Amino acid sequence: MQTSILSFGKRTLRALTRQKAVIAIIAMLILMLFFKTNFYTSYNLLNVLKDAAVNEIIAFGVTLTVIAAGCDLSVGGVMCLSGITAIQMMNGGMSMWLAITLSILIGALIGFINGFFVVQQRTEAFIITLGMGMLLKGVCQQLTDAHPVSCTNMEFMKIANGKIGGVIPNLAVIMIVFGVLVYALLRYTSFGRNLYAIGGDYEVAKYSGINVVTTKWIAFVLSGAMTAIAGVLLSSKLNTGSSIYGDDTALMVNCGVVVGGTSFAGGVGGIPESFIGLMVLQLLTNCMNMLGIAPYLQQVAQGVVIVGIIWLDCFGRKRKREDV
Amino acid sequence: MEKKDRGIILSIKDVNKSFPGVKALDNVSIEIERGIVHGIVGENGAGKSTLMKILSGVYTKDSGTVVFDGEEIEHTTPIESLNRGLSIIYQEFNLVNTMSVGENIFLGRFSEMHGMRGTHAEARKLLDSIGCSIDTHTLVGELSAAEKQMVEITKALSFRSKLIIMDEPSSSLTSDELKQLFSIIGDLRAQGVSIIYISHKLDEIFELCDMVTVMRDGHVIDTRPVGELTRADMITKMVGRSIEHEYPERPHCVGETLMEVRSINTHKLHDISFELKKGEILGFVGLVGAGRTEIVRAICGADKVKGHEVLIGGVPVHIKKPAHAKKLGIGLLPEDRKLQGLVLRFSVQSNIAMASLDKMRKFGFIDASQERGIAERQIANLGIKTPSPQTTVLSLSGGNQQKCVVGRWLEINPQILIMDEPTRGIDVGAKYEIYVLMKQIVENGGSIIMISSELPEVLNMSNRVLTICEGRITGEFNPEEVSAQTIMDSAIG
Amino acid sequence: MTKRFDLKKFLLNYLVLVAIVLLVIITIIVEPKFLSGDNLTNIMRQFGPLSFVSLGMTFVIIGGFIDLSVGGLISLVAVVTVSLIDPLGQLNALIVGVLFGAFLGFLNSMVLISCGALTQAEALFITYGMSAVYSAVALIYTGGSTQHMSWLTTPQTIFTAIGSGTVGIFSVSFIIFLVCLLLLWIFHNKTYSGRSISYTGGNKVAAELSGIPIKRSVILIYTICGLMSAVGSIVLFSRITTAAPIIGKNYETNAILSVVVGGTTLKGGKGSVLRTVLGVLLITLMSNCMNLLGVSAYMQVVLKGAILVLAIWLDNRKEQ
């Protein structure tokens, strides 16, 4: 019993330190100790969680598809669409929770369609979800005539902007709850374990009696649904639905997931990895804001960080390959 | 061995299976007794793997009856087959490299095993029962071939299999590991489990099996106790003609020293130095993982290795990448022709002309008309069976695919051709043709380094043999003067 | 040996052509104005920036990679080139602009090669990051503002010609496009380097062992893409006579769309610039026809997305 705890601890440590993302975060945390800013205040740190929440929730859903050796680049479009439909339905008189539920179902439906192409038709995930995202963007523009829509229901704003006990942001809590749920799904259920198998080796999983088609398909449905939830939360946060949200989201979230260690090849990774990976990018933005760095420079920094981490990752693999 | 009435575990009767254009199985009937090891031999295309895939549920038979453990099986799926007690261990292993040993054993049965803890506990018990000490948390991707095989056997045991089919189980094992495998098979047999052992290594069939079935062109030629057959008998039945010689006459064209290699040192290789003579076939003998492929990859610049010397004709050369090697007239036929040798989606013509691009080059432009000529020349020269030069190379048989790669290199008249497993996955008839080609190459002044895991092949074709063990050259022999046993001993170390 | 004409296979392989024919026929029936000289000139004019970028993207995809940096690259080249017109004169600025784009493409390839990136996925993220860098540099360079060519003191006759000039019924940009197309086609099919690119995309390992220069191929595909994107950028700002640091937005997705719709497979190795032309033609015709038929701008985006999805789906089925 003791040895298994020890070996679990050793394995976790080894897995974590292999993650360049963790190192990047630690580096940033250490760096910020040297500057006199409001970084290390509970207000700011809670803000970081709050700002990250929407994208992290998307990341949790996307993680499911990436583990199954797919990916989901339609998230920008789904996110926009769910926010817009929720608000428009509410503005049309529908009750808030019903509108939200329907929007989430729409997200799930899109996930279902993505799943059809990727799983049933065995189309390349990254490009087909990219196309789907483009399509949804157009739908969003059509629905809103390219004007942002505000919600007439005052209750809507409170969902994302509220605080539990006046201190802890709802968004942070919601993010953590979803994180834990998906983590448990991946680790403790057959569905989750089968997803790893499917991503690791599709044929082997199939021959082991796993229903590969249904399982992978569901991953896409869940990704769509979770993205829709995130989209609703974003619209709630800003009290606006707009078709310009999410232009960068797809690549940033998928990037973040990979940066954290959930590889496109499938079969590896999970919630902690994806969370940390995306957090690198979010934390970076926060640090730069704290340091007063101009927005344009921030963009450069983000690009450099993404390139840098992936570069290091590739380079590490190249070294291993050539280490004869 | 006394013939007891052990009862029949598997009865296959008049099974037929056709694919478009080819009849894979023609009225195949075999009976497998309980508690024995039953070998199946046959060339590539004989129908062995089709039959196995029908048994395991991957394919569906067209007609005939299959009765397993008293139950008639009509259609089945892989998992149903497993649950019935029929397991199959494929050559390429049916494992997920990114998951742990424990989870692989119980893949798809996570909830039955009550989650992670139950999975690993039960896996531990099963592994211990065959004397295997691998940690169940280890990722399968980090295991050796022999260890993966243990995992596969454990998987079969977890289904309480009554019949385990092993397809070419020894292809990646050292002889120690093979001994361990035989011992486990012996234990299983004693427990009443039947094993179907598919292998082209006839020595193993003779050592291990009680009964053997010979298949050819989709038919069962014969099924009889192993003791009643000789090796020559078996080959005759497999091939349908008496092959007096499996190999052409050994060429003797050895001349002066052509290439010297000095001091290759890497993680795996230690102080590798040797010579290659003009017109010579030099064989590398060693176990899988001994470092043979690494040596040739270092020479050709396919791996980035520094600190060694290569001299050709006494002149030092610097080979940093395969293109340099090619300029010097050194060509490498890689181990895995599908992944490393061919562009499967391209035509036969494109694959053959692939190394000749600079030959066709004029001021940066390619004279495409030459390409067709090159392809047709090699197709005729090597007897490549293809409907046309434009046919996608994927649709060719293994032997013809290999000929495309050989043709590619022959086109540039290499002075040294390195052939890594030149006849892997190729049937006996096509193998012979490759041997003849090799002979022609050296008779025309070229030299060959031949790496092969099939000892008879290396011993019969080479003029000189180097044994490589754990990254070191352990011996140099003339196969005509020294026994196979001596050479093998040196390779095992 | 007679080969039976496989209609299904032909259709699948040349679906884009079928789609174009159908689209044209339907539009002519509903709106005969399609065939007017004005409209046809208009169509040719539509063979604008995107077509150049798509030609460049074709090479990257045939080589087995992908380039998401073109958006940022276009923006950066635009602002830099326009800013150089006054100091250097228009011809020099033009040349510098094109070379600069090629350089940025070369830079992309250097980043990829230095870390040993072998797969499309790795290239995806790295070029995405490079796009962010290029866009940001463009923003920094202009301080966020847009440069209007009307503010320039140097006359921009060359650029005006590129942007809106015509030779007979053909627009200048169309002629430039045809020239580029010809050169690239010859390069791909008739040169050693072009052939090497195909083999690199087919199977890198096998190609390397056969002596094919992999690194050189990677450098070439990205440099060509950068160069063509620069040409596209110049055509773009010549047309709209302004260079804003965000004008390159979304070009990468549209370029990939054109290439895939045209029938070049994302798997690499096989494909052709001619197919990409068909892809661009279809996309262009779609806009034109839908405008004539009175379809709203947003619906057009929806339909474009739908076509992309359809094209990718069918591309996959073809390969199976």
What is d(CA C109, CA C222) in angstroms, rounded to the nearest whole number? 6
Cβ of A190 within 8 Å of Cβ of B111? The answer is yes
Please report residues of C whose CB lies closer than 8 A to that of B368: 189-190
> What pLDDT is stored for residue B245 in this prediction?
64
Q: What is the pLDDT of residues A110-154, one digit of tens each?
A: 999 999 999 988 887 877 888 888 889 888 988 888 789 888 888
Report the distance separating Cα A92 and Cα B433, nearest Å: 79
Higher pLDDT, B256 or C9: B256
Task: State whether B94 and A207 contact (CB < 8 Å).
Answer: yes
Taking residues B187-201, report their average pLDDT: 89
Helix C70-88 vs helix C251-262: angle between axes, to the nearest 10 degrees?
Answer: 120
pLDDT at B172 over 90: no
What are the chain B neighbours of A205 within 8 Å (beta carbons)?
96, 107-108
pLDDT grade, residue A177 (50/70/90)? very high
Q: Which residues of B touch C202 (CB under 8 A)?
A: 343, 345-346, 350
Chains with at least 3 CB pairs less than 8 angstroms from chain B: A, C
Contacts of B116 in chain A (CB under 8 A): 187-188
Q: Could you give the maximum distance between any two Cα atoms of chain B, in Å?
A: 78
Q: What is the pLDDT of residue B45?
A: 64
User: Tokens 């023609």 map to which residue?
Assistant: B26
Q: How far apart are CA C53 and CA B389, in angstroms?
A: 35
CA atoms within 13 A on the CB side of A241: 33
Over the stretch B63-101, which tens digit does the pLDDT of each residue have?
999 999 888 888 888 888 899 999 999 877 889 999 999
pLDDT at A39: 83
Among B99, B151, B269, the strongest candidate for a mutation testing the A interface, having the largest count of A CBs within 10 A, is: B99
Reference C308, options C66, C10, C14, C16; nearest CA is C16
Q: How far is CA A26 from CA A30, A38, A225, in A?
A: 6, 18, 32
- The total of other beta-carbon atoms located within 10 Å of residue A43's CB is 8
CA–CA separation, C276 and C261 (whole Å): 8
Residue B412: closest CA among chain C residues belongs to which residue? C210
* Chain A residues in contact with chain B using a Cβ-Cβ cutoff of 8 Å: 7, 11, 187-190, 193-194, 196-197, 199-201, 203-210, 266-268, 322-324
In this predicted model, what pLDDT tens digit does every residue of C200-249 receive, in sequence order? Answer: 999 999 999 999 999 999 999 999 999 999 999 999 989 888 888 888 88
| Closest-CA residue of chain A to B93 | A204
Question: Which sign, positive or negative, has the C-alpha torsion A107, A112, A113, A117?
Answer: positive
In angstroms, the CA A118 to CA A136 distance is 17
Which of B108, B115, B266 is closest, CB to CB, to A194? B108
**C199 vs B: CB within 8 A:** yes
Phi-psi bin for B160: left (phi > 0), alpha (psi -120 to 50), beta?
left
The three-point CA angle A194-A68-A63 to 5° equals 110
Q: A267 CA to chain B: closest CA distance, Å?
A: 6
pLDDT tens-digit map of C182-194 = 999 999 999 999 9
Flag whether pLDDT at C4 surpasses 60: no
pLDDT of C77 above 80: yes
C202 close to B (CB below 8 A): yes
Query: What are the pLDDT digits (tens) for C79-105?
Result: 999 999 888 888 899 999 999 999 999
Q: Determine whether the interchain pair B78/A209 forms a contact, defined as Cβ–Cβ distance below 8 Å.
A: yes
- Please, are residues B418 and B296 in contact by the beta-carbon 8 Å criterion? yes
State phi, psi for B15 to the nearest 5 degrees.
-80, 135
Inter-chain contact C111–A302, Cβ cutoff 8 Å?
no
Q: Residue C15: pLDDT above 80? A: no
Q: What pLDDT is attached to residue B1? A: 45
3-state secondary structure (DSSP) of residue A107: helix
| Lowest mean pLDDT segment, chosen from A89-103, B101-115, B185-199, B239-253 | B239-253
Contact predicate A178/A57, CB 8 Å: yes
Q: What is the pTM of this model?
A: 0.82
Check pLDDT > 50 for residue C1.
no
Contact residues, B window 373-402, toward C, CB-based 8 Å cutoff:
387
Chain A contact present for B340, CB below 8 A? no
Whole-number Å distance between alpha carbons of A165 and B462? 83
Q: Report CB contact under 8 Å: B366, C195.
A: yes
Tell me the ipTM for this assembly.
0.85
**Are A314 and C117 in contact (CB < 8 Å)?**
yes
- Is the Cβ pair C125, A258 closer than 8 Å? yes
Whose tokens are 């045991």? That residue is B157
Q: How confident is the model at residue A11 (pLDDT cuts 50, 70, 90)?
A: low
Dump pLDDT digits (tens) for C252-299: 888 988 898 888 888 889 999 999 998 888 888 887 878 877 888 788
Mean pLDDT, rounded, of chain C:
86
Contact between A126 and C299 using a beta-carbon 8 Å cutoff: no
Across B204-232, average pLDDT: 89
Beta strand B464-469 with A168-169 is unpaired
CB contact under 8 Å between A306 and C144, yes or no, is no
Chain C contact probe: residue of A134, A247, A322 with most C CBs at under 10 A: A134
Cβ contact (<8 Å) for B345 and C202?
Answer: yes
pLDDT of B132 higher than 90: no
User: Is the model's pLDDT at A186 over the cut of 70?
Assistant: yes
Directed axis angle between helix C172-190 and helix C273-292, to 10°?
A: 150
Q: How far is B258 from B377, CA to CA, in rounded Å?
A: 28
Interchain proximity A187–B116, CB inside 8 Å: yes
pLDDT range class, residue B4, cuts 50, 70, 90: low
CB contact under 8 Å between C125 and A310, yes or no, is: yes
Contact C128 A141 (CB under 8 A): no
Q: How far is CA B148 from the centre of its chain?
A: 17
**Average pLDDT of span C25-34:** 79
DSSP letter (8 states) at residue B8: E
Q: DSSP secondary-structure letter at B339?
A: I
C209 and B358 in contact by Cβ < 8 A?
A: no
Burial class (CB in 10 A: 0-12, 13-18, 19+), C240: middle
Mean pLDDT confidence for A39-46: 84
Compare CB distances from B108 to A187, A200, A210 and report the shortest one's residue. A210
Q: Tell me if B108 and A197 make a contact (CB, 8 A cut-off).
A: yes
What single string gives the DSSP state of each residue in B222-243?
EEEEGGG--HHHHHHHHHSS--
Of A134, A255, A308, the CB nearest to C253: A134
Q: CB contact, 8 Å: B111 with chain A?
A: yes
